[in-house]
Amino acid sequence: MNQNGSNGIRFFSGESIPVELHKVRIVQKLHLKPIDERLEAIHEGGYNTFQLNTKDIFLDMLTDSGTNAMSDNQVSSMLQADDAYAGSQSFYKMEAALKEVFGVEYVLPVHQGRAAENVISQTFIKKGQVIPMNYHFTTTKEHMEVNGGKVLEIYTDEALKINSDHPFKGNIDIKKFKEVIDTYGAENISFVRMEASTNLIGGQPFSIQNMREVKKLADEHGIMFVLDASLIGENAYFIKEREEEFKNTSIKDILRLMCDFADVIYFSSRKVSSTRGGGICTNNKELMLKMRDLVVLFEGFMTYGGMSVREIEAMAVGLMETLDDTVISQSPAFIKFAVDQLDKAGIPVIKPAGALGCHIDAKGFLPHVPQAEYPAGALAAALFIISGCRGMERGTISSVRDENGNDILADVELLRLAFPRRVFTLSQTMFVMDRLKWLHANRELVGGLKFIDEPKVLRFFMGHLAPTSNWPEKLVAKFKADFGDSL
Ligand code: F0G
């Protein structure tokens, strides 16, 4: 695999095309419904793509979480699962895989990533403490705040730039880390957290060099280092591609190196191993024992942690497969292909291309929609209406209100189109790009949204919104005028 996302395969034509190094053996039929039915579906779903039913969706690019394609070896391993409340052999296989891939001694299984965040936050955060990190993730921040902690984002100046060629926008700004230590004192810092392939800023990686510097400072002040490894495979892949020192290092060795910096590693295995579940790992017995009681209390016995043993079997196989370049490079290669297409068409998109998905800058796409009217949410709804493709709002709707009830406007307004591993084909990718180009040409037709039903916690999941005018109907009329009876 190389920087141009072509799997090292050169084309006679000179084009850069990501060739799939797998074949499709089990398929699921999709439906592309007529535009009037799509409008009705999003209307009923309160203009919130989380509220759609997949029967109305053509390409589901909401997330890669629990939706990556599984390999034949993963699926077949599920048949061998050992059903046992305690001491299941499936768990020991997963533990062995984590030892091998992350180099860790102790494994606490949990039902998904946010369950790990719950255990870690309850165990290590004291009221009034701060938690510095490269950037928050929605559920991470919520768990930390519920436990009385305050999230401090200490990203670099490059992190939030839409158009950048910086290879490691997920890095922590070391100067800011020092300032946090000086201001709050190490004793008031629960831990420092680094999130691999930083999700909410566009799947952007950090470098090993940055990890080294963070670790050095953390050690000097006795601060614990927590690594969110949900997207660690892709981050390791970008290190190999972009950090000169590691261009000849194997993904396996890079992964081990990354994990060696951390005192505690946690992950959503809905992402990292293309299964459903999660875990917390450490080499420090004392830290493990501090967390263990909460696992038994909230998750399940120590050898399943709320997961199905079948998923645990598939996790063990999936973890080993993250060492395979052709598995780990597939999603970034497709994302790069999509980003290049959009960029060429003048559509504002986060650059450089990162992990997880292609992130469209909704503020740049819809400059006439004020941030208070949720441009990223509006763009997600508009794209669904005109294509049947479901993306995810990652902007102010995914944020919260302040104590006076005012929206805290998000740093960036993004429409995320996830590329779950090995799920979509290139022609499907090209279909979405085509519809996005049409939408961009007709962007003035898209208006804003307002909340009509707003939950207090993680409102973006269950909230209902309405358009601020009849713009969806106007958009449908223009689509029909341009595309006739095409779906
Ligand atoms: N950490 C990161 C970096 C994540 O991306 C996620 C989930 C979690 C923790 C929580 O894990 O869902 O298993 O409880 N991200 C999903 C997404 C939901 O769509 O990006 P979980």
Residue minimizing CA distance to atom 20 of ligand 1 = 63
CB of 279 closer than 6 angstroms to any ligand 1 atom: no
- Per domain, the residue ranges of the chain are 35-64+327-483, 72-323
Burial of residue 247 (CB within 10 Å: 0-12, 13-18, 19+) is exposed
| Helical H segments across 228-329, by residue range | 232-242, 251-260, 285-294, 309-321, 325-328
Q: How far is the centre of ligand 1, averaged over its atoms, from the C-alpha of 112 (Å)?
A: 8
Q: What pLDDT score does 8 carry?
A: 74
Beta-carbon count within 10 A of 283 CB:
17
Contact 48, 374 (CB under 8 A): no
| Ligand 1 geometric centre to CA of 278 (Å) | 10
Question: Which residue has the CA at smallest separation from atom 5 of ligand 1?
Answer: 199
User: Ligand 1: which residue has its CA nearest to atom 12?
Assistant: 113
Structure confidence by residue, pLDDT tens digits, 334-349: 999 999 999 999 999 9
- Quick check: is 460 catalytic? yes
User: b vs e for 384-405, b when ≥16 Cβ sit within 10 Å of the residue's Cβ?
Assistant: bbbbbbbbbbbbbbbbbeeeee
Whole-number pLDDT of residue 87:
97
Write the CA distances from 263 to 16, 144, 245, integer angstroms: 40, 18, 24
For the question of residue 138 being annotated catalytic, the response is yes
459 as an active site residue: the answer is: no
Would you say the CB of residue 268 lies under 6 angstroms from ligand 1? yes
Nearest CA among 131, 271, 268 for reference residue 193:
131
| CA–centroid distance, residue 359 to ligand 1 (Å) | 16
Run means of pLDDT, 10 residues per run, the chain, 487 residues: 63 91 94 97 98 98 97 97 96 98 98 98 98 96 97 97 97 98 98 97 97 98 98 98 97 98 98 97 98 97 97 98 94 97 97 98 98 98 98 94 93 96 96 98 98 93 97 98 93
- Give the active site residue among 56, 64, 173, 228: 228
Find residue 151's DSSP bridge partners: 131
| CB-ligand 1 contact for 114 (6 Å cutoff) | yes
What is the 8-class DSSP label of residue 229?
Answer: -
Strand, coil or helix: 20: coil
Distance (Å, whole) CA 21 – CA 18: 9
Active site residue 443: no
* Phi, psi (degrees; rounded to nearest 5) at 374: 55, 65
What CATH class does 35-64+327-483 carry? alpha beta
Written as one letter, the residue type at 333 is: A
In eight-state DSSP terms, residue 299 is: I
Within a 13 Å sphere around the CA of 145, how many CA atoms are in the beta-carbon half?
Answer: 12
Q: How would you class 169 by CB atoms within 10 Å of its CB: exposed for 0-12, middle for 13-18, buried for 19 or more?
A: buried
Output the pLDDT for position 9: 86
The whole-number pLDDT of residue 396 equals 96
**Residue 237 is among the residues annotated as catalytic for this protein:** no
CA of 441 to the centre of ligand 1 (A): 33
User: Whole-angstrom Cα distance, residue 395 to residue 158?
Assistant: 18
> Is the C-beta atom of 416 inside 6 A of ligand 1?
no
Q: Which of 124, 137, 168, 451 is catalytic?
A: 137
DSSP 24-37: --S--------HHH
In CATH, which of 3.40.640.10, 3.40.50.720, 3.30.70.600, 3.20.20.100 is domain 72-323?
A: 3.40.640.10
Is residue 109 within 8 Å of 305, Cβ to Cβ? Answer: yes
The rounded distance, in Å, linking the Cα atoms of 446 and 135 is: 30
Q: Tell me the C-alpha distance between 117 and 332, whole Å.
A: 26
CB burial of residue 134 (10 Å; 0-12, 13-18, 19+): buried
Q: What amino acid is encoded at 46 in this protein?
A: G
